[in-house]
Structure 1
Amino acid sequence: MIRTTSLSCLALVLSFVSTLSGQDAAATKQADRTPPPVIAEIDAAMQTFVDQGTLSGAVTLVGHQGKIIHLGAVGLADIEKQKEMRPFTMFSIASMTKPIVATAVMILQDEGKLNVDDKVSNYIPAFKDVKLKDGSAPEREITIKDAITHTSGLAGDQVFQQSLEEAVNELAERPLAFQPGTKWQYSPGLNVAGRIIEIVSGQPLQEFLQERIFGPCQMTSTTFFPDQKQQRRIATLYGPSEDGKSLVAVGNRISDPADVTAPNPSGGLFATARDMFRFYQMVLNQGKLRKQRIVSADAVAQMTSPQTGDLETGFTPGNCWGLGWCIVRQPQGVTEMLSPGTFGHGGAFGTQGWVDPKTETIYVLMIQRTKMGNSDGSDVRKAFQQAASNAVQ
C-alpha cells in the first residue's frame, strides 16, 4: 500500500513537472514569435534613403542589454517584383563574414590545436617559400595573426572561383606587398585562415561553422550555400543606373547565391539581422550564449583588443584592428556615437555590425547596395547608428 501510494505521488509530481516544462517551452516558443518592437525614428531615418533612391530597402536591428529593442524593415527586397523587405530577409553580408571565421580560429586555439602566432606554413607548406615583389625572401614568415589582422603582405582580390584549397595555394604564389607585420593592407588573409580551419579540424568550413557557431547560436539562416527556399529570401543587390537616377539589379561578384561552389571565408556568408545579433550577443557575453560556451572569454578578449599597434588601419579614421575585427579606438565621424572599444565589421554591400561593450548595445544594418564610395563612411551607416544611439540613451 505504501509503495503504491508513493508511486502514485511520484507520478503526480512527474506529471506536474512535465506540465510546467511544457508550459515553459510553449512560453519560449510564443516569445520567439512575438514581433520585436520597432523604433519609429530608426525606420524613418532609413526610409529617407529609400525615398531618395539611395537604397531599395533596409533591415535594421538594435540590441541593448541582451534584448532586441528594435527590428525594423523598410522599402523593398526586390524592386521589380515589388517584394517587401522583411525582418527575416537574408542578405549577402560580405566581409561581415570575417569576424565569424576569426572566431572559429580562436575556438581551435582554445582547444590547443593551433595558435595565432603559428607560421601559416606549419599548416600550408606552400607558404614556406613566399617571396616579396623583388624576389627576395621576407625577413620572417607569415603567421595566422598576420593573416587575420591584414598585416601579412598578401595582396590581390579576395574573390575566387576555384576551390578554397586551390585559391589559397594560388595566394602563396603571389608576391608579398610588404614585409609581414610592418603595414596594414586589407587582404585575402581570412581565406588562408578559413583553409587552416579545414585542415586542422578535418571538416569543411561550412560544417565546422555550423557545428561550432551557427548551431549553438541558433543562427538558422546563416550559410555559404543557401538552398532554394533561402535563395527566395535573399534581398536583391542593387547599384546605380548609368545616369545615376535609379537603381538597377547587379550580380553578386563575391558569392552568387544560386551558384556557390566553395565557401569564401573573406566574404561569402548569407545571413539575417537576427542571426547576426545572436552571434554578436555571444561575443558580447564573453563567448557564451544561453549558458552554452562557444569560445573562451580569453579568446574574446584577444580578438577584440588592438593587435596592430600604431599601424594606420581601416577605411575610416580612429580605428585599429583586432583578430578579424575592426575596433573603434577614437570615435569620430561615422563612429562618433560609439564608445571607444566598440568592435565590429562592415561589408562591401553596405552592411554593418557593431558591438559597443560599454553601453551593451548591438547595431546591425542590412542593405544590398554597390558603388557607395567608401561604404564604411557612408551617410546611411551614420544615420542608422545615430538614430539607434539616440534610442538607447
Structure 2
Amino acid sequence: MQRRSGVLSLVAGWVVLFSLMGCSGKTLDPGVPAAQENPGEVENLSWWSRAAMDAYLRQDVWRGNRAGYVLMFARDGVPIHANAYGWADIASERPMMLTTPMRFASMTKPVIAVAAMQLVEQGRMDLDDPVAKYIPAFADSQVAVSQARNAQGDFDTRPAQPVLVRHLLMFASGIGPGRDEETELWQHWQANSPREEGAGTLQGRISAMASLPLFEEPGTRWRYGWSADALAAVVEVVSGQRIDAYLQANVFEPLGMGHTRYLVNMADRSGLATVYRHDASGELIDFGSTIDADFPEGGSGLVSTAGDYLRFALMLWNDGTYQGVQVLQPDTLAQIQALHVPGGVMANEGIEGIGWGLGFAVVADDEASVTPDRTGDFWWAGYFGTHFFVSPETGLVGVFLSQTEPSPGNEVPFALYVAQAIAFAGL
C-alpha cells in the first residue's frame, strides 16, 4: 500500500504542475480500431491523469532527459488516450508524432514467441521437441562445469540435457550470455555471439552459436541471452520461410501492422526517430547507426510504431483475436501468460516479483514488485526505451516509446513507470 500511496502523491504533484503550465490534456486519435468490432461503452482515463501524464512527459523532454516520447493506452480493448511529445530528431526540429517509426529492439522477442506458438498450435512442432530436431548442431550441446578457463585455456564441460523448444520460450535454455558478472565464459559468449559473425544467415549464425558451452542445464534458470534468436531459427525451419517473411504473412498483415518490418529490410530510414545517448556532460547526442544488425534477428531488429504495436498488444488482451482476425487460440494465450518461471527475472535490476511465461515477463507478485502493475500483468521492453504491457485485471493496455541508448549519463527510464502508474491511478 505504501507504494500505491507514493504513486498517488506523485500524480497529485503533476496535476498541480499541469494547472500551472496550462496544458490541455487532450486525447489524440491514435488511428487504431478497437480490438472488437462492436465494443461496448468504455470509460476514459480521468482528465487529471491524462493532464498529469502530459505535464510530466513535457517537462522530461524540456529538461533534456529524453528527446521525445509517444504513448498510447487502451481500456477494455478500446484506444482511449494517445499523445506525442518532443522531437523525433532534434537537429532538424522534426517533431515526434504518433506515427513516428522507431527501433523496438527487444520488443521483437514477444512477436517471435507468438510466431512460434502459432506453429505449436497448428501441430507443426511441440513445446517438448528437442531443438536439435530442427537445428542439428544442438545435438551435441555441452554445459560448462566452470565459467573460468582451465589450464589449457578451454572450458571444462559435460553433456547437457536436450534443449527443448519450451526452454527457448522460457529463456531457460542455458544460452547466454545474460546480464551476469563478466566471467571468462561470459566474455567468450560475447566475442562469439551471432552478431559477431562477419556474415551469414540466421540459421548459420545460430548453428555456430550451438557449439558454445551452455551456462547451466536447460530448464533450470531464466537467462537473458540469445534464446529468442534460436527460436526464430526454429520457426524458419518448421515454416520453410525466413523469419521476416513468416512474420509479415502470419502476424503483421493479419493485424494490419503496415508500418512494422525489420530494419535490415528498410532502404529508406529517413523517417525513423533518431536514437540518442547522453554524453559526459549530460547533453543528448546522436548515437549513430552502429547498432544495426545485417540480418533478421529473433531477439531484436524490428521497426514499428506505437499504433502498430498497440494492435499486437490488443490481440494479446483479446484472447488472440483482433478485429475478427484470430492470430492465436485462447488456450494458447493462456499458456503464454502462465507462470513458467515463477520469479527472479528482474533480480539483477533489483526488481522482485517478476516471473516469465512463454515469451513475456509476467507479474508474479505485485506487492513484491516496485513497478506499477497488477499480479498477472504481462509485458516486455526494448533496449532504447520502448515498453508495452497488458493488464488483464484492469483491462488496461499500454505502449510507451522513446529512443535513447542506455549510458552512464542517463537516468533510469522512470518516465515510462510514472506514465503507467498515472494511468492505473486514473482508472
Per the TM superposition, whether the score is higher than 0.5 is: yes
Q: Give the one of 309, 313, 329 matched to 2:345.
A: 313
What is residue 295 of structure 1 aligned with on the other side?
328
Question: In 1, Cα distance between the equivalents of 2:329 and 2:32?
Answer: 31
What is residue 60 of structure 2 aligned with on the other side?
49
Pairwise mapping of residues 204-283 of structure 1 onto structure 2 (< 5 A)? 204-225=242-263, 227-229=266-268, 231-244=269-282, 246-254=283-291, 256=292, 261-283=294-316
Q: Is the 2:143–2:159 Cα contact (8 Å) retained in structure 1?
A: yes
Q: Is the 1:284–1:355 Cα contact (8 Å) retained in structure 2?
A: yes
Segments of structure 1 that go 5 or more residues without pairing to the other structure are 1-29
Task: State the Cα distance separating 1:250 from its structure 2 match.
Answer: 0.6
DSSP 3-state at the match of 2:114 = helix
What is residue 358 of structure 2 aligned with on the other side?
323
Cα deviations across residues 72-131 of structure 1 (Å, max 9, x unaligned)? 000001011111000000111111111110000000001101112211101000001111
* TM, length-normalised to structure 2: 0.78
% identical aligned pairs: 28
What is residue 167 of structure 1 aligned with on the other side?
205
Question: In 2, Cα distance between the equivalents of 1:387 and 1:373?
Answer: 27
What is residue 360 of structure 1 aligned with on the other side?
395
Q: Is the 2:206–2:233 Cα contact (8 Å) retained in structure 1?
A: yes
Residues 1:58 and 2:79 are matched in the alignment: no
Task: State the Cα distance separating 1:138 from its structure 2 match.
Answer: 3.9
Cα deviations across residues 25-65 of structure 1 (Å, max 9, x unaligned)? xxxxx99499x999332222211211221100000111111
**How many corresponding residue pairs?**
355
Question: In 2, Cα distance between the equivalents of 1:154 and 1:55?
Answer: 33
DSSP 3-state at the match of 1:183 = coil
Cα deviations across residues 176-233 of structure 1 (Å, max 9, x unaligned)? 111111122111000000011111000111111111110010011111045345x222
- The one-letter code sitting in structure 2 at the alignment partner of 1:313 is V
What is residue 228 of structure 2 aligned with on the other side?
190
Residues 1:143 and 2:164 are matched in the alignment: yes
Q: Is the 2:352–2:369 Cα contact (8 Å) retained in structure 1?
A: no
Question: In 2, Cα distance between the equivalents of 1:333 and 1:371?
Answer: 25
- The one-letter code sitting in structure 2 at the alignment partner of 1:44 is A
Q: Is the 1:355–1:362 Cα contact (8 Å) retained in structure 2?
A: yes
Question: In 2, Cα distance between the equivalents of 1:220 and 1:88?
Answer: 11
Q: 1:159 to 1:222 in 2, by over 3 A?
A: farther
Question: In 1, Cα distance between the equivalents of 2:194 and 2:81?
Answer: 34
What is residue 346 of structure 1 aligned with on the other side?
381
Q: 1:270 to 1:297 in 2, by over 3 A?
A: same
Q: 1:215 to 1:312 in 2, by over 3 A?
A: same
Task: State the Cα distance separating 1:253 from its structure 2 match.
Answer: 4.8
- The one-letter code sitting in structure 2 at the alignment partner of 1:248 is I
Question: In 2, Cα distance between the equivalents of 1:374 and 1:240?
Answer: 5
Larger-Rg structure? 1
Segments of structure 2 that go 5 or more residues without pairing to the other structure are 1-28, 34-43, 146-155, 178-189
What is residue 22 of structure 1 aligned with on the other side?
none
Question: In 2, Cα distance between the equivalents of 1:112 and 1:297?
Answer: 16
Question: In 2, Cα distance between the equivalents of 1:33 and 1:223?
Answer: 18
What is residue 8 of structure 1 aligned with on the other side?
none
What is residue 21 of structure 1 aligned with on the other side?
none
What is residue 101 of structure 2 aligned with on the other side?
90
DSSP 3-state at the match of 2:310 = helix
> What's the Cα RMSD here?
2.5
Question: In 2, Cα distance between the equivalents of 1:101 and 1:374?
Answer: 32
Q: 1:374 to 1:106 in 2, by over 3 A?
A: farther
Task: State the Cα distance separating 1:144 from its structure 2 match.
Answer: 1.3
DSSP 3-state at the match of 1:132 = strand
Q: 1:41 to 1:372 in 2, by over 3 A?
A: farther
Q: 1:274 to 1:228 in 2, by over 3 A?
A: same
- The one-letter code sitting in structure 2 at the alignment partner of 1:324 is G
Residues 1:381 and 2:416 are matched in the alignment: yes
- The one-letter code sitting in structure 2 at the alignment partner of 1:388 is A
